[in-house]
Amino acid sequence: MKISRMNPFESNSKTVAFLDVETEEGINIKGFTLVEGTNGLFVSAPSAKGKDGKYYDRVFVPKELKEQLTEMAISMYNEMGGKTTGTTTNNIEDTTSL
């Protein structure tokens, strides 16, 4: 899996970047976001608003894979000049694929 596109997003919202992910099989999943939470940056899966007004994930990612994706996204975001607050990351040799 690799991050095929990342666009930093500058505003007063908690979203700091939008990203797309491509699987090894060539499936491109669009709509992931990198969000600044109370415990640092994390990746949020694509979601849609339901009839009840709540947002629901459209893609479900296993916990371990989501952690790896978050590390990749934070590393790429930092390389692009993004700023993190209260977040430390491990250096990843290859930030484009798992």
51-84 pLDDT per residue, tens: 999 999 999 999 999 999 999 999 999 998 876 4
User: Residue 43's domain is classified under what CATH number?
Assistant: 3.30.1120.40
pLDDT in tens, 6-55: 999 888 889 999 999 999 999 999 999 999 999 999 999 999 999 999 99
The CA-atom distances, in angstroms, between 62 and each of 7, 23, 45, 80, 91 are 24, 14, 11, 27, 22
pTM over cut 0.85? no
Report CA 93 to chain centroid distance, whole Å.
18
**What's the rounded Cα separation, in Å, for the pair 4 and 20?**
6
Q: Is 90 domain-assigned?
A: no
Q: Is 86 domain-assigned?
A: no
* Domains in the chain, number: 1
Strands 2-8 and 47-49: unpaired
Do 6 and 22 contact (CB within 8 A), yes or no? no
By CB atoms closer than 10 A (0-12, 13-18, 19+), residue 98 is middle
Q: Is 91 domain-assigned?
A: no
